[in-house]
Structure formats: structure tokens, C-alpha cells
Amino acid sequence: MTTGVRRRMGVEERRQQLIGVALELFSQRSPDEVSIDEIASAAGISRPLVYHYFPGKLSLYEAALKRAAEDLACRFGESHEGPLGARLLRVMGRFFDFVDEHGPGFSALMRGGPAVGSSTTNALVDSVRQAAYDQIIAHLEIKDPPVRLELIVRSWISLAESTALIWLDGRRIPRAELESQLVHDFGALAAVSAAYDEEMGALVRRMLEDEPADGPFADLVARLIALAS
């Protein structure tokens, strides 16, 4: 079914191709700076044809963001086997892969800019945060998370976002250090809560029970004890 050199694409196929092309451009530069002309040219079609598939740049941006959000949420998937610290560290690696691949677009979105901040984009960002939250709660194997655990998980997610944004701004700290630091930060925030709340104390003790002596949490505790003495 080819007509000459270029095969004619179906509507959905063309839409998906445009989303892919747009996502790549929106990842490399701030979305404000990417024009429909550029997207058309990168996709090898005319500007009016882009508008045939997407009414405007915002709807194409939202479609690209939706694909990126689904991609990121998939990367949170992790086997429930083995120690928690090691699982979280692997997820942090994939999170920084994503941030690395989509740097300028990720910054522009998370810092908020003129082209972003529609209710659709906000809902997409929130859906990724919720996916991260659900994954962590599932790994902790907790049915009804107490409110103090919810606070820690959600505020740690915002810490991970801001750490990634600060990393993108000059990459002055190696990303491997930050991936590991975020795992430690999670343990530290949980420990602070556990120090003042019995329910959280029991939960954190259970969480650490299966951690190996050479895992990130045990390593942090040993170093902190050395630091305190």
C-alpha cells in the first residue's frame, strides 16, 4: 500500500508520528521555543496538515506530555522482590534517565511557563505524582496508609522533583550521587517521622527489617552513627 516513495499514513498513525516528533522537540528545548513550523518540517509534512490533526500547538503539546507521562509512570514499575532500598534505587536510576532524556521540556513544565500550566497539563503532572505515590505505597505493602506516611511519601516525591530540577541546572553533582541521596533522603524523612510517632516507628522498623547490611539504608545508619560520635 505505498503511493510513490512515501507511504500514506492512517489518521491515528499520523497522529502518533506527530506526537513522537513533537515530544522529541519539546524535550530538547523549552516548548515555548518550538514552533508548529518546526514540528511540521521535522515530521516531513506541511503546516496546514499539522493543524488537520491537532487544532493548535497546545493540543499537540498536551498529547506529547501525555505520552511522556505514561512513559515515566511505566518506569516506576519495579518487581516486589528483594530489599526496598535497592528497589527504590533502581527506580531513581530510571527517573533520572527520563529527566536526562527530556531535560529542557521537564524543566519548562515543572517550573511553569507561559505555554504550560493549563488544567490538562496540571492534571497530567498530578497523575504521574499519584502513580509514584501508589507504587511506593504498594511496595510498602500498606492497605490504608496513615496520614503521616502519606505526607512523607508525597513530600518526598516533591523533593525528588526539585532535586532533579536542580541537577538539570548545570549538572554540578553527579546524578548517581543524587539517585542514591534521594533513597537516603526517603529513609531520613521516614526516620524523622518515626522518631516522633509510634505508628510510624512500627512501620519504619518493619520497612528496615529485611534490609541487608550492605544496602543503602544500613549504610546510611552506620555513617550517621559515625558522624554523631
* Phi and psi torsions of 2, nearest 5°: -100, 140
Residues that bind a copy of itself (CB under 8 A): 111-114, 116-119, 122, 147-148, 150-151, 154-155, 158-159, 161-163, 166, 172-173, 177-178, 180-181, 184-185, 188-189, 191-196, 201, 204-205, 220-221, 223-228
Q: Which is nearer to a copy of itself, 40 or 193 (CB)?
A: 193
- What DSSP line would sit under 68-118, residue for residue? HHHHHHHHT---S-S-HHHHHHHHHHHHHHHHHHTHHHHHHHHH--TT---
Q: Which is nearer to a copy of itself, 50 or 135 (CB)?
A: 135
Residue 201 contacts residue 171 (beta carbons within 8 Å): no
C-alpha distances (whole Å) from 24 to each of 17, 64, 156, 203, 215 are 11, 9, 28, 42, 36
Q: Which is nearer to a copy of itself, 67 or 154 (CB)?
A: 154
- Which residues, other chains included, contact 90 with Cβ-Cβ below 8 Å and sequence gap of 6+? 78
Q: Which is nearer to a copy of itself, 36 or 188 (CB)?
A: 188
Least gap, CB of 89 to a copy of itself (angstroms): 14
Least gap, CB of 11 to a copy of itself (angstroms): 30
Least gap, CB of 88 to a copy of itself (angstroms): 14
Provide the 3-class DSSP secondary structure of residue 8.
coil
Least gap, CB of 161 to a copy of itself (angstroms): 7
Least gap, CB of 17 to a copy of itself (angstroms): 30
| Strand-pair partners of 7 | 2
